[in-house]
């Protein structure tokens, strides 16, 4: 038995309504093609002229136009939606939580993941600087959600560089990984595919990586190349740049066969470090 899943790629702007319209078109298309699980990219509802724009449109958990949109779309088409990330209120009035909400096919929130690892980096000898922690409050809990298609883990963008997070999710039963992202063009060219393949291979899981892909109003360029990978690390489908959609059929039977034939997950060991003077 197979399940069709989709990753939506966007080039989001500062206009929330416009972005929701683009997302709606692709959700409709994915659902019409038989997808039952649809993943939106990080910041799908807004990428503003500056990082504080998202703070101004933050929502309280459980209410707001972005959350209403996701609930309505999932219920309307009877699909599960991983809602990229949206800005939700945090304990700090000047920051938000980058929250990824998972909606079931009845339009109900089945899980919430708040991005843990924040992108505070300097790239290209200072030509690109990012400090997400100025406007985002990090989360501290991983998420694995039971679904009709398998146990779904959620990570966001920069999280992909921290394999220990996904090992925790694996211990919680993860079979499918949804990865909403907005990788920079610079880091994406060197690392995007390698990192996604590594997480798929080492955890023997499907990965649905939905990305931002293009030039945004603030001048930022995101890498795109949304893709779906199988548990062997093969890229099943890929979309380069611009607004788009990729879909593929996943099979837990195939995954179970791979995990059975290559039982690396059962061969994991617990390691103890030894100091210089250990006997």
Radius of gyration of the chain from Cα atoms?
Answer: 18
Report yes or no: 192 and 153 within 8 Å, Cβ to Cβ.
no
Catalytic residue among 100, 115, 137, 193: 115
The pair phi, psi for residue 77, each rounded to 5°, is -105, 0
Catalytic residue among 157, 175, 193, 205: 157
- Identify whether 14 is a catalytic site residue: no
80: which strand partners?
A: 37
As a whole number of angstroms, the distance between CA 279 and CA 272 comes to 14
Which sign does the torsion angle of CA 17, 9, 39, 81 carry?
Answer: positive
- Identify whether 193 is a catalytic site residue: no
Report yes or no: 208 and 37 within 8 Å, Cβ to Cβ.
yes
- Identify whether 205 is a catalytic site residue: no
Report yes or no: 104 and 71 within 8 Å, Cβ to Cβ.
no
Where are the alpha helices (H) located in the chain, listed in sequence order? Answer: 16-32, 53-56, 65-77, 163-171, 185-187, 193-203, 252-261
* Local structure of residue 175 (DSSP, 8 states): -
Q: 3-state DSSP call for residue 170?
A: helix
As a whole number of angstroms, the distance between CA 214 and CA 211 comes to 10
- Residue numbers annotated as active site: 42, 115, 157
């Amino acid at each position: 038995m197979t399940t069709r899943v989709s990753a939506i790629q966007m080039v989001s702007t500062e206009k929330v309504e416009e972005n929701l319209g683009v997302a709606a078109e692709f959700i409709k298309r994915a659902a019409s093609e038989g997808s039952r699980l649809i993943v939106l990219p990080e910041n799908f509802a807004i990428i503003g002229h500056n990082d504080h724009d998202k703070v101004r449109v933050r929502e309280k958990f459980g209410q707001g136009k972005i959350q209403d949109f996701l609930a309505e779309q999932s219920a309307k088409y009877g699909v599960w939606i991983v809602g990229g990330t949206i800005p939700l209120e945090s304990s700090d009035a000047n920051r938000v939580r980058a929250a990824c909400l998972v909606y079931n096919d009845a339009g109900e929130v089945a899980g919430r993941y708040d991005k843990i690892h924040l992108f505070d980096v300097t790239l290209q000898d200072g030509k690109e600087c990012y400090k997400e922690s100025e406007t985002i409050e990090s989360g501290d809990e991983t998420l694995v959600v039971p679904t009709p298609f398998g146990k779904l883990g959620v990570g966001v963008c920069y999280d992909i560089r921290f394999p220990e997070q996904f090992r925790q999710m694996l211990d919680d039963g993860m079979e499918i990984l949804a990865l909403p992202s907005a990788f920079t063009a610079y880091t994406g060219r060197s690392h995007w595919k390698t990192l996604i393949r590594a997480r798929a291979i080492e955890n023997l899981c499907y990965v649905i990586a939905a990305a931002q892909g293009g030039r945004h109003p603030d001048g930022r360029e995101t890498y795109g190349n949304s893709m779906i990978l199988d548990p062997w690390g093969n890229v099943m489908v890929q979309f380069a740049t611009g607004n788009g959609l990729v879909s593929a059929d996943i099979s837990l039977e195939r995954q179970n066969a791979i995990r059975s034939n290559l039982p690396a997950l059962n061969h994991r060991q617990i390691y103890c470090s030894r100091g210089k003077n250990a006997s």
